Structure 1
Amino acid sequence: MIQERIQEANKSTLERILDAQPTLVGIGVAEEVIPGMTKKTILHAGPPITWDKMSGPLKGAVIGGLIYEGLAANEQEAVALAESGEIAFDPCHHHDAVGPMAGVVTASMPVWIVKNMAYGNQAYCTLNEGLGKVLRYGAYSEEVISRLKWIETVLAPVLKEALILCGPIDLKNMIAQVISMGDEGHNRNKAGTSLFIRELAPHIIYTKFDNKDKADVLKFMHSNDHFFLNLTMPACKATLEAAKGIPYSTIVYTMARNGTEFGIRVSGLGDRWFTAPAEIIDGLYFPGYSSADANPDIGDSAITETCGIGGFCMGAAPAIVQFVGGTPEDAIRYSKTMYEITEGENNSYKIPVLNFRGSATGIDIQKVIELDILPIINTGIAHKDPGVGQVGAGLVNPPRKCFEDALEAFVGDLEEKGLL
């Protein structure tokens, strides 16, 4: 009887995921739109963590965030403030937000606002900084801060006005298109960024800003193939947040990493985190770097795999293996294997090479443990020291212990209720 309840709960959870309608509705300032945000709040990727346990990239991003906000003038002041206890560190996920890599969000940062039109909840994410030395990899030099200020004062205002002229953008439909065009929504976003530029470019032209600002905005987006990642992430977050809190559900609605620990959350277990040490990524390294330079797995971008895209859709993006390692056959195999640990298939995100089969969706902790198959994640590799940046990309699995502990807690709850 209890298994019937679990099956029904998982079916309901999957329905909420499939019924979601993530839609881009605007751009706001973090302090003004993100619930619980204050001047001295710093949000970060992954499960909860304290300053003393943060990895190099996350500490570097915190330092940069404090300098950007004017709360510190330099690295020394920022470290002292971070150690003082005055700063409230909290996961992005606790505030309906997500952030790539270090995932640091501070009060003045502009953020995308994505609304799940089916259930009314919203999700938030910063705008992608571009390539090179960037805050998300722990860099905090003058050029990093200057770029963040340009994003705040030029990029975001131009895009905000263009969105007002354009109207809401259906991200679910756009993600479905890009998967059929060779993206997987996590590490390959060439098609997504291109479609997004195509959607907004005519409206950018009609904004009140001068031609140089408009041209700079278009050039900035064009120069960064990962610009669309910061839209797929909140789209997936808005989708999955509506699927949490369903009693008896064993479906995962969060996978996230802070550079020290990997954490998951399960629909039927509410807000509880189940964590274990984050793994080192197996991948391809840029010239001059090796696994000795790598930081453990970091970032909220695994929300894409949690939602059934990213690594789960590698079969749709065979070119991704040139970046993360392996062969096109491997990419197809990864996508096929994920069907074994999921509740169902996505009715929008379809993989052409698999005869347009819907992507594997709804990770079930029971199946993960029973079959001993872990979710596959493709991701960037951050250098272990702050400020160095990306040193490669590859594939990684969550620690099995996260799923073991979650299933044990789930069974414990059933025993407490007298259902076992």
Structure 2
Amino acid sequence: MKELLQQDLSVVNVGLQSFAANITAAGGRATSVTWAPPAGADPALGWTLATLIGDPRIEAANTIAFERYLGAQPRLVDLVRAGEVMAGLGPGERRILHAGPPIDWPDMCGPQRGAIAGAILYEGWADDLDAAEKLAGSGEVALEPCHEHGAVGPMAGIISPSMPVWVVENTASGNRAYSNLNEGLGKVLRFGANSPDVLERLRWLGSDFFTTMQVAVRGLADPDLKPLMAQALHMGDELHNRNAAASGLLFKRLTLALLGSDLASDAVRRALEFVAGNDHFFLNISMAAAKSMSDAAAGVPGSSMVTVMARNGINFGIKLSGNGNQWFQAPANPVDGLYFPGYTVDDAAADLGDSAITETNGLGGFAMAASPAIVQFVGGTPADATANSRRMLSITLGTNPAFTLPPLNFGGTPAGIDARLVADSGILPIINTGIAHRQAGVGQIGAGITTAPMDCFTGALAALASGLQK
């Protein structure tokens, strides 16, 4: 013992950092290992987690789900009205789709209520805003999540029957996903705005713009989205909050498709000017592509792979591949971000939108290493962006070799969130997000970073374990 104490002290410290600090202060060396009890130190949940780690049934199911995700090939195949292709939105149906997990009208946040009222006016189901809000609260209009209809929408996420939707098909298995058009920034429906100028823009998007873009999409020489998205990652996008490169790449394809069309030049010019002036134009297509890829992995019994993450401005919800169509919800975590001048956290709505489907697929916050410039918008440093991507490797089944990150030596993005690894490590999926004002129609007031709440994952794992025992 005397000989041991005379040697240079070199300690591996597990747990509290203060123990290491004391050793260092005394002249020793200490290497700290960050550790916390798994499953939030809940004994029952810890035991459940222990039974799931290494379960050969789950491992086999996750292999199938992850391979289906990796094999997905999203292709932009059409732009059509929602009611023409989406079940439940056909003629005579009064149904509006919204972002996030299920929620009733009285419980919705301000932006989502404002956007639904605006969609009712857009459809002509009410003559004024008061009548639209009463109709929404009467139960005569069905309000359901986009994800229940194979669709996704940013922020409020509103899709109504006559709105145009992008159609993205995973050609590997034939499943399709849908998303609405991006209106640009400012006062827009997805932030709850429903004024006459907002509705006028929506009507133009649903008429002249729709006609022009439909011709362009149907005439695309190269409709494959995966290579375009991969190229955009190499050009500084992360395909959630930054889509400048992807929007530019799509603009070139759309322009070439329109050059030989018989459409009126004024209509073509106005449509292309709108696309060129909207750096977020590709976001909705990125989301539909991501939805088509994650849906390919859904429905594998026993799989702990996350296939949906979505928020409705109140709650955060997830789905696992192995739990069927079941939602697992918890209150949405606050957003740590940068606010536009004049706004603070007190003005903000809780995390909102289906756009976390990008993170579900290894993009967005998981691909921040590809987009160091994004930190000027959401906060942090370029080093933080790279660290975030590296940290997500701890909770994923693998990486996506189709989406590579130059700062990580062209390694693939972390992909295939495993709910078991989230609960075991305590590391939560990170999400880049915009911040909406809590009042309808004010618009975006900032952007930042948030995480999915742990209770979603622990609830989903408890259900998965119960299903395996049957």
- Does the alignment reach a TM-score above 0.5? yes
What is the aligned counterpart of 1:185 among 239, 242, 246? Answer: 239
Alpha-carbon distance in 1 for matches of 2:453, 2:380: 21
Amino acid at match of 1:26: D
Secondary structure of the residue aligned to 2:416 is: strand
Secondary structure of the residue aligned to 2:56 is: helix
CA contact (8 A) 2:116 2:158 kept: yes
What is the aligned counterpart of 2:303 among 249, 267, 270? Answer: 249
Percent identical residues: 51
Look up the match of 2:18: none
CA contact (8 A) 1:233 1:303 kept: yes
What is the aligned counterpart of 2:105 among 30, 51, 57? Answer: 51
Q: Deviations over 1:218-261 (max 9, x none)?
A: 11011110000011000000111111110110000000001111
What is the aligned counterpart of 1:33 among 85, 96, 108? Answer: 85
Secondary structure of the residue aligned to 2:207 is: helix
What is the aligned counterpart of 2:277 among 211, 218, 223? Answer: 223
Alpha-carbon distance in 2 for matches of 1:74, 1:208: 38
Look up the match of 2:40: none
Amino acid at match of 2:410: F
Secondary structure of the residue aligned to 1:413 is: helix
1:289 aligns with 2:308: no
Alignment map for 1:75-90 (pairs within 5 Å): 75-90=129-144
Look up the match of 2:314: 260
CA contact (8 A) 1:343 1:362 kept: yes
Look up the match of 1:171: 225
Alignment map for 1:40-119 (pairs within 5 Å): 40-119=94-173
CA positional deviation for 1:208 = 2.4
CA positional deviation for 1:401 = 0.5
Look up the match of 1:213: 267
CA positional deviation for 1:156 = 1.4
The TM-score with structure 1 as length reference comes to: 0.98
Alpha-carbon distance in 2 for matches of 1:87, 1:14: 37
Secondary structure of the residue aligned to 2:290 is: helix
CA contact (8 A) 1:280 1:294 kept: no
Amino acid at match of 2:459: D
Look up the match of 2:56: 4
Cα distance change on mapping 1:387 and 1:210 into 2, 3 Å = same
CA contact (8 A) 1:205 1:214 kept: no
CA contact (8 A) 2:314 2:331 kept: yes
What is the aligned counterpart of 1:161 among 194, 212, 215? Answer: 215
CA positional deviation for 1:167 = 4.6
What is the aligned counterpart of 2:185 among 131, 135, 152? Answer: 131
CA positional deviation for 1:164 = 2.0
Alpha-carbon distance in 2 for matches of 1:366, 1:80: 44
1:149 aligns with 2:203: yes
The TM-score with structure 2 as length reference comes to: 0.87
Alpha-carbon distance in 1 for matches of 2:137, 2:372: 45
CA positional deviation for 1:296 = 0.2
Secondary structure of the residue aligned to 1:114 is: strand
Alpha-carbon distance in 2 for matches of 1:303, 1:6: 23
Amino acid at match of 2:56: E
CA positional deviation for 1:168 = 5.4
Corresponding residue pairs, total: 416
Amino acid at match of 1:380: G
CA contact (8 A) 2:74 2:226 kept: yes
- Larger-Rg structure: 2
Alpha-carbon distance in 2 for matches of 1:255, 1:363: 10
Q: Deviations over 1:3-46 (max 9, x none)?
A: 11111111111101100000000111101111222441000000
Look up the match of 1:337: 391
Alpha-carbon distance in 2 for matches of 1:55, 1:163: 35
Amino acid at match of 1:253: T
Q: Deviations over 1:116-175 (max 9, x none)?
A: 000100000011111110000000000100000000111111011112222551011111
CA contact (8 A) 1:351 1:358 kept: yes
CA positional deviation for 1:200 = 1.2
CA contact (8 A) 1:26 1:168 kept: no
CA contact (8 A) 2:221 2:253 kept: no
Amino acid at match of 1:229: L
Amino acid at match of 2:453: P
Alpha-carbon distance in 2 for matches of 1:362, 1:121: 19
Look up the match of 1:19: 71
Look up the match of 2:377: 323
Amino acid at match of 1:344: G
Alpha-carbon distance in 2 for matches of 1:383, 1:295: 5
- The 4+ residue runs of structure 1 with deviation greater than 6 A are none
